[in-house]
Structure formats: C-alpha cells, structure tokens
Amino acid sequence: MKTKLPTLEQLNDESFVKELEYMRTHLNEAGVNEEAAKHGDGDVVADSCDNPAGTVPYRLYAHLSTTFDDGVILDIGTLYGSSALALSYNTKNQVKSYDLAEKSKIAQKMTRENIDWNIMDFRKDESIEWDKVKMIVIDTNHTGDQESEFMKFLIAKDWKGIMCFDDIKLNMPMKDFWECFDDDIKADVTELGHGVFNAESPDKTCGTGFVELDLE
C-alpha cells in the first residue's frame, strides 16, 4: 500500500483522542441521541466518541484525513453525522456528506465550517469537483449491489484516490463485494476500524476495508 496506515496505538493515543472531542460537542448540540432514540437506535454520542479504534472506525477516518491537504472528502451515508465529523478533523480539507434518509437531516443542525451536508444521491451532485476529491467513505445499505453501482460510477469517472468501505464482513453480499477488489489495492483494516457489531453482539464483526485506486 502506498498510504501509510496508522497503528492501533496511534489511533487510541490519549492526546489524539482528546483532539476529537469536538465530535461530542457537535453531536450533543444537535440533539443526535434524542433523534436516534426515536428510531430505536442506541447512544450515538458514546458509540462515536468513547469506543476505541478497532471497535468503531471514526479515529481511523480522522487519521486518514491527515494524509493529504486541500482536498475534498465524500462521505456517502451521513446517518447521524459521526463519520463526516471524524473526516473533518483535518480542517484543510472539505467534507461533503450525502444521505437520502430523513433521519439524517439531524446532522444539518451541526455547523462545522469544513462540512457540507446534502440530502441527495452524490452521483447527481454536479457541483462536485472530481479532480479535488481525494477520499471517499461509503457506508450505506450494505447490499453489495449498491456498493457495486457506486464503483461503476466512479470507474466511469476515472476517479483516483483512497476509499473506505464500512461493514465489509457484515453479510455475504458485502463479503462477495469486497472479494472483487484485487489484493494489491486493498487492505482489511478492521483491527483499526469497525470491529464488533455492537455490545449485544460481540461475536458479530462489521469490518472496514481500505482501497487505493490508481495512486501515483
């Protein structure tokens, strides 16, 4: 891999974790936990801010945002905004977050200068300057088919950069999708990213995949 990936120790370093406390502030101010409770979801703030790398992927995303400057990061699948917040760690980059679900509108209550929230299909956003997009995170419906359609779109764009896929081990369609990538351009970074499914299902693994597309 051309991208130098961090160690688990780096991601869980106390000083680095303290620098990510802005996530907790924004999530609390937006009332994310209250919105999550309406949909039967758990404590989003604690899940995003207190769990270590290797359990949730947010510290990994924050670190990867520091591997370049002056770029655009696409966050596909806003949900409650945690991924976008983590990706905004490097304020020299701009994050554009996308979702179609109504409940993701709660994220728009969070004001952070380098995040642009969008309720739309990213493929229809003609304002994206693709030559500036350096990183894409995809965390959507985990059907495998949807992820494949996204990849076809990006290949047609001849896009190049780094990608993270959430939940590559969640189900068989996602496992099959992950196997489609050549070994020399991908890395299973689950131990640095999204590990267990949740506290109630400690034996169920979600998985995080990292891909480099034609990096020079």
Q: Which of 21, 113, 103 is nearest to 62 (CA)?
A: 21
Contacting residues for 115 by C-beta, under 8 A, at least 6 apart: 84, 85, 88, 94, 95, 96, 97
Asked: is 8-213 a CATH 3.40.50.150 domain? The reply is: yes
What are the residue boundaries of the structural domains of the chain, listed by start?
8-213
Q: What is the pTM of this model?
A: 0.94
Helix (H) or strand (E) holding 24: helix 22-30
pLDDT, tens digit (0-9, with 9 covering 90-100), for 82-95: 999 999 999 999 99
pLDDT, tens digit (0-9, with 9 covering 90-100), for 95-112: 999 999 888 999 999 999
